[in-house]
Amino acid sequence: MQTNDPENKKIILSVTGIVKQVFELSKSLNLSGFAKEELKLESIISIKLPDPINITGWHWAEKSKDFDFLCENIGVELVTIEPGKKYNLKMWTKEDAEPGRYIGDVVLETDFKDISEKKILFSLTITPDVQLAPRTVIMREMRLDGGKTKNFEKRVSLIAARGDSLQILEVIPDRDDITVNVRETRPGKAFSCVISIRPPAKSGKYEGTVTFITNYPGYERLELPIKGMVRVMDNE
């Protein structure tokens, strides 16, 4: 601690005490799994103080990063096992929840005057069965010297997370200056795709899409956006 006393410009304060745990969870609120299936977890909340504390309800913290998604896609049920002592917090996803990573706080409402609300971090990761990596090709700047065209390449992977029968039936670029070379690296599981772009000699934004047609149920059509900039350099 800083002071204005010239003889004691710094003071060190030591604080001691006993920290009592009030709530104990049997399992952290981390949920993960694959898309198009219901994901579930249960966590037993135990009251560690000698006096009972009633958990009277719950809600999502409005400042949660993914508040709207959580409200619409996550089911929550609070079940009393032993009033004032033990509760079961049940959580599950709806089957149509979109793949991604989501974070928010579950707020427990109590009748304990010192802690009327208790925030608990919740995280959810939903992985698609089939995914492109990356999901978008970013060509930050494609420089063309003196108006001469040339090829620019990016590598993309198409991966089946669970199945082993994935096949790419067709690849459809929406521009004539995009070509795609596909190589199967793990039979039925993974493909390496080289995206080759030969942009026109004109400065400005570049946008395109490559569509992958597959045999995988639910992932028959995967679109890969391509975004970038073309810059024509004047060599004079």
Sign (positive/negative) of CA torsion 59, 62, 66, 72?
Answer: positive
pLDDT tens-place string over residues 94-133: 878 889 999 999 999 999 999 999 999 999 999 999 999 9
CA distances from 187 to 19, 134, 184 (A): 56, 20, 6
Dist. CA 182–CA 215, nearest whole Å: 15
Q: Which two tokens stand for residue 83?
A: 């009033």
Q: Are strands 221-233 and 137-145 parallel, antiparallel or unpaired?
A: parallel
- pTM recorded for the entire structure: 0.71
In 8-85, the DSSP E strands lie at: 23-25, 29-34, 40-47, 55-60, 74-82
Q: Which two tokens stand for residue 25?
A: 């969870």
Ranges of residues in the chain whose predicted pLDDT is under 70? 1, 13-20, 235-236
Predicted pLDDT of residue 81: 97
pLDDT tens-place string over residues 127-159: 999 999 999 999 989 999 877 889 999 999 999
Q: Which two tokens stand for residue 159?
A: 């991966």
Predicted pLDDT of residue 75: 95
Of the chain, the end-to-end C-alpha distance in Å amounts to 64
Closest among 147, 155, 232 to 197, alpha carbons compared: 155
CA distances from 76 to 9, 32, 61 (A): 54, 16, 14
Question: What domains can you pick out in the chain, each with its CATH number?
Answer: 23-127 (2.60.40.10), 130-233 (2.60.40.10)
- Alpha-helical (H) ranges within the chain are 67-73
Question: What does the angle CA 99 – CA 59 – CA 112 come to, to the nearest 5 degrees?
Answer: 140
Return all residues near 104 (Cβ < 8 A) that are at least 6 apart: 60, 61, 64, 65, 66, 67, 70, 121, 122
Q: Which two tokens stand for residue 188?
A: 């039925």
Predicted pLDDT of residue 41: 96
